[in-house]
Amino acid sequence: MAVWILLGLLILVTAAVPVAAVLGILSFVLDEIAMDGRLTFGIGEIVWDKSKEFILVAVPMFILLGEIMLRAGIARRMYGAVIQWLSWLPGGLMHANIGSCTIFAASSGSSVATAATVGTVAYPEIEKRKYNESLFLGSLAAGGTLGILVPPSINLILYGLLTDTSVPELYLAGIFPGLMLAFLFMAVIIFACLYRKSWGGDPVRTTWGERIRTLPDLLPPVLLFAVVVGSIYAGVATPTEAAAVGVVFAIGLAAWHNFQAPIEKPIDLLPIGVGFGAAIGCMFMGLNVAYAALGILAFLAVFTGVRKARSFPFWLTIALFVFPLTAFMIYAPASDVTRIMFGVLVVLCAIGFGMKKGVLAPKMFVESFEGTLRTTAMIMLIVFAAIFLNFVLGFMGITQAMLNFIAELGLTPVETILLIVVFYLILGMFMETLSMMLTTVPVVFPIVMSLNVAEFSDVWFGILITLLMEAALITPPIGVNLYVVQGIRARGGKFNDVAIGAVPFVIAMLVMIGILIAFPGVATYLPNQFF
Partner 1 sequence: METFAKIHHALKELSRWLVWLGGGALLISAIIVTVDVISRKFIGITMSGSDELSGYVFSASTTMAYSYCLLHRSNVRIDAFYNMMPQALRATLDVIGLALLMYYMWFMTEAGVLAFLESWELNSVSITTLETPQWIPQFFWMAGLVLFFAMLIFVTLYSLVALLQRNWDLVGRIAGIPSIADVIEEETHGVDVMEEAAAGREV
Among positions 412-451, residues that touch partner 1 (CB under 8 A) are 430-432, 434-435
The 3-class secondary structure across 401-419, one letter per residue, is HHHHHHHHHCCCHHHHHHH
Q: Segment 27-46, which members bind partner 1 (CB under 8 A)?
A: 28, 40-45
* Closest approach of partner 1 to the CB of residue 364, in Å: 7
* Closest approach of partner 1 to the CB of residue 25, in Å: 6
* Closest approach of partner 1 to the CB of residue 76, in Å: 8
Residue 80 interacting with partner 1 (CB under 8 A): yes
Cβ neighbours of 449 (radius 10 Å): 15
Listed in sequence order, the residues at least 6 apart from 109 whose beta carbon sits closer than 8 Å to its beta carbon are 59, 62, 63, 65, 66, 67, 147, 154, 375
C-alpha distances in angstroms, 447 versus 25, 413, 420, 461, 463?
24, 10, 10, 11, 16
Q: Segment 125-144, which members bind partner 1 (CB under 8 A)?
A: 125
**Out of 8, 90, 343, 394, the residue judged to bind partner 1 by CB under 8 A:** 343
Stretch that binds partner 1, among 109-117, 151-159, 253-261, 414-422 (CB under 8 A): 109-117
Residue 215 interacting with partner 1 (CB under 8 A): no
Stretch that binds partner 1, among 18-26, 175-183, 193-201, 514-522 (CB under 8 A): 18-26
Residue 367 interacting with partner 1 (CB under 8 A): yes
Compute φ and ψ for 153, nearest 5 degrees.
-115, 135
Listed in sequence order, the residues at least 6 apart from 380 whose beta carbon sits closer than 8 Å to its beta carbon are 56, 59
* Closest approach of partner 1 to the CB of residue 486, in Å: 7
C-alpha distances in angstroms, 104 versus 153, 260, 308, 433, 484?
12, 19, 27, 20, 16
Stretch that binds partner 1, among 114-122, 149-157, 190-198, 302-310 (CB under 8 A): 114-122
Whole-angstrom distance, CA of residue 291 vs CA of residue 283:
6
Residue 226 interacting with partner 1 (CB under 8 A): no
- Which amino acid is located at 346 in the chain? V
* Closest approach of partner 1 to the CB of residue 49, in Å: 10
Note whether 315 and 272 are within 8 A (CB): no
Whole-angstrom distance, CA of residue 180 vs CA of residue 182:
5
What is the b/e burial string over 115-142, where b = at least 16 CB atoms within 10 angstroms of the residue's CB? bbbbbbbbbebbeebebbbbbbbbbbbb
Instruction: Count interface residues toward partner 1 (CB under 8 A).
Output: 107
Residue 85 interacting with partner 1 (CB under 8 A): no
Q: Which is nearer to partner 1, 21 or 320 (CB)?
A: 21
**Out of 1, 3, 4, 14, the residue judged to bind partner 1 by CB under 8 A:** 14
Note whether 260 and 305 are within 8 A (CB): yes
Dihedral, 446, 448, 450, 455 alpha carbons, nearest 10: -140
The 3-class secondary structure across 107-151, one letter per residue, is CCCCHHHHHHHHHHHHHHHHHHCCCCHHHHHHHHHHHHHHHHCCC
Residue 79 interacting with partner 1 (CB under 8 A): yes
In the shown chain, the binding pattern of residues 233 to 272 toward partner 1, with x for contact by CB under 8 A and - for none, equals: ---xx--xx-xxx-xx------------------------
Residue 25 interacting with partner 1 (CB under 8 A): yes
Stretch that binds partner 1, among 267-275, 331-339, 411-419, 451-459 (CB under 8 A): 331-339
In the shown chain, the binding pattern of residues 455 to 484 toward partner 1, with x for contact by CB under 8 A and - for none, equals: ----------------------xx----xx
Whole-angstrom distance, CA of residue 76 vs CA of residue 63:
18
DSSP assignment letter at 268: G
Residue 306 interacting with partner 1 (CB under 8 A): no
Residue 87 interacting with partner 1 (CB under 8 A): no
* Closest approach of partner 1 to the CB of residue 388, in Å: 9
In the shown chain, the binding pattern of residues 266 to 305 toward partner 1, with x for contact by CB under 8 A and - for none, equals: ----------------------x--xx--x----------
* Closest approach of partner 1 to the CB of residue 470, in Å: 18
Share of the chain residues as helix, strand and coil, in percent rounded to the nearest 5: 80, 0, 20
* Closest approach of partner 1 to the CB of residue 484, in Å: 6
**Out of 1, 2, 3, 16, the residue judged to bind partner 1 by CB under 8 A:** 16
* Closest approach of partner 1 to the CB of residue 219, in Å: 18
3-state secondary structure of 424: helix
